[in-house]
C-alpha cells in the first residue's frame, strides 16, 4: 500500500488523502501538486483521496529560461 | 521623438510592458547576480520553471520564490524539457496553480540534441492550452506554416528561435526570420533562444521584431550584470533604429558631402 512521490515510494498515509500525505512530507512552500498527472488545487487537498500506486508529483518554483 | 519612445511599449494578450526584453533566470552563479542582472536589464517579464525539489536543498524553491517576488516583475512560466503535448499541458496547469498566471511559455521539444521545437506537439498543446484559457507564448522555429498553425490555434504571440537554445550563435536563418516578420506584421514576435551577443538582439530589433527573450547570454557572461545592461541598451537601440526607419541600402557610392560648390573643380593634376 504505497504511493509514488516524485518517483520514490512512500507508505499510503492514514487517512488516505493528499492532505495527510502533505502533512507527513511537509514540503517547503510554495509548491504545487499533481496526482496522476492532474494538478490538484490547494483547496482540494483534504478532499483528494489517494490510492495505492498513485503517482504524486510535488514541484516548486525553479530557475528557467 | 521622446514622447514616441515613451509610448512605445510591448503589448501581448492585452497587457502592455515598458520593456521589450524578457530575461531567463537560470544558470546564474548566485541569486545576487540574478537580482542585479534583473535590476539593470529592466526586463518586461522573467521566465521560470517548475521542478521537483532536490534532496539537500530544502528551501531553495522558497528563496527563489522570495527573489522573484521582490523583483515585482511579471512571471512567464515555461514548460521546458517537455517532450510531448500532454506533458506540456500538465506542466502548464501546474504552473498556473503555482504562479497564479495564465501566461505560459510553451516548449515542446522534438529533438534532444539541438532542443528544436516539435512542431506537431507544439500545435497540439497550443490548441489545448488556448481552450483552457492560457495565454500561450510558443517557442517555435521560423517556419511560416508552423507559425500560421499556431496563430490559427489562438496564439497571440510567437517566439521564433534565432538558433538552438544556449548556443549563442545568433540568427541562423536571417532571411526566414525577416520573411516571417513581413508575413505576420500584426502579431507580436519575440525572438527566443540562440541569442549570444547584444548585436544579435539589436539586429533582430532593427528588423522589426517586438522583443527578445534570452538567458544564457547574460547568465554565462564573465560579468552577467554588465552584460544584462548591454542587452538592455541593445534592445532599445535596435527598436529605436526600427522606428526611425533605416536608410535604403545603395548599390553604388553616394557622396554624403554636397558636390555643388566644391572649389578647385577644374584645377590641373598635381603632376602636370
Each residue of B220-237: pLDDT tens digit?
999 999 999 999 999 999
Helices B31-41, B224-244: axis angle to 10 degrees equals 20
* Cis, peptide link before residue B236, omega less than 30° from 0: no
**Contacts of residue A51, Cβ cutoff 8 Å, sequence gap at least 6:** A3, A12, A16
- Nearest CB to A61: which of B34, B61, B215? B61
SS3 content of chain B, % helix, strand, coil (to 5): 40, 15, 45
Q: Distance (Å) from the C-alpha of residue A65 to the closest C-alpha of chain B?
A: 4
Judged by CB atoms closer than 8 Å, whether chains meet at B53 and A32 is answered as no
Please write the tens of the pLDDT for every residue from A21-40: 999 999 999 999 999 999 99
Q: Distance (Å) from the C-alpha of residue A14 to the closest C-alpha of chain B?
A: 24
Please write the tens of the pLDDT for every residue from B41-90: 999 999 999 999 765 566 667 889 999 999 999 999 999 999 999 999 99
- Nearest CB to A64: which of B47, B65, B193? B47
Average pLDDT over residues A50-64: 96
Q: Which residues of chain B have pLDDT under 70?
A: 1-6, 54-60, 272
Chain B partners of A39 at a C-beta cutoff of 8 Å?
Answer: 90, 93-94, 96-97
Q: At residue A55, does pLDDT exceed 60?
A: yes
Q: How far is CA B135 from the centre of its chain?
A: 16
So what's the pLDDT on residue B2? Answer: 46
Length of chain A: 65
Report the distance separating Cα B102 and Cα B168, nearest Å: 29
So what's the pLDDT on residue B3? Answer: 46
Q: Which one of B45, B50, B194, B195 would you mutate to disrupt binding with A, by most A Cβ within 10 Å of its Cβ?
A: B50
Amino acid at each position: 500500500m504505497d504511493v509514488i512521490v516524485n518517483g520514490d515510494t512512500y507508505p499510503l498515509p492514514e487517512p488516505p488523502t493528499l492532505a495527510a500525505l502533505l502533512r507527513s512530507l511537509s514540503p517547503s512552500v510554495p509548491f504545487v501538486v499533481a496526482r496522476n498527472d492532474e494538478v490538484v488545487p490547494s483547496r482540494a487537498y483534504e478532499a483528494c483521496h489517494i490510492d495505492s500506486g498513485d503517482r504524486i508529483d510535488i514541484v516548486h518554483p525553479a530557475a528557467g529560461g | 521623438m521622446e514622447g514616441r519612445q515613451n509610448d512605445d511599449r510591448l503589448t501581448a494578450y492585452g497587457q502592455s510592458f515598458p520593456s521589450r526584453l524578457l530575461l531567463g533566470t537560470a544558470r546564474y552563479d548566485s541569486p545576487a547576480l540574478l537580482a542585479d542582472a534583473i535590476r539593470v536589464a529592466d526586463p518586461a517579464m522573467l521566465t521560470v520553471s517548475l521542478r521537483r525539489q532536490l534532496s539537500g536543498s530544502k528551501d531553495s524553491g522558497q528563496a527563489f520564490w522570495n527573489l522573484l517576488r521582490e523583483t515585482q516583475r511579471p512571471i512567464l512560466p515555461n514548460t521546458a524539457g517537455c517532450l510531448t503535448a500532454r506533458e506540456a499541458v500538465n506542466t502548464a496547469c501546474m504552473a498556473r496553480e503555482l504562479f497564479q498566471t495564465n501566461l505560459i511559455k510553451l516548449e515542446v521539444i522534438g529533438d534532444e540534441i539541438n532542443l528544436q521545437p516539435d512542431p506537431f506537439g507544439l500545435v497540439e498543446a497550443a490548441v489545448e492550452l488556448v481552450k483552457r484559457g492560457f495565454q500561450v507564448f510558443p517557442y517555435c522555429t521560423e517556419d511560416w506554416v508552423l507559425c500560421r498553425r499556431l496563430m490559427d490555434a489562438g496564439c497571440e504571440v510567437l517566439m521564433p528561435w534565432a538558433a538552438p537554445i544556449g548556443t549563442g550563435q545568433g540568427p541562423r536563418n536571417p532571411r526566414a526570420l525577416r520573411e516571417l516578420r513581413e508575413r505576420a506584421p500584426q502579431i507580436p514576435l519575440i525572438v527566443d533562444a540562440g541569442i549570444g551577443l547584444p548585436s544579435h538582439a539589436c539586429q533582430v530589433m532593427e528588423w522589426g521584431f517586438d522583443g527578445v527573450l534570452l538567458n544564457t547570454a547574460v547568465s554565462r557572461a564573465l560579468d552577467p550584470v554588465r552584460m544584462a545592461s548591454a542587452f538592455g541598451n541593445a534592445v532599445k537601440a535596435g527598436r529605436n533604429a526600427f522606428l526611425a526607419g533605416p536608410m535604403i541600402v545603395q548599390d553604388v557610392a553616394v557622396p554624403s558631402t554636397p558636390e555643388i560648390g566644391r572649389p578647385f573643380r577644374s584645377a590641373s593634376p598635381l603632376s602636370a
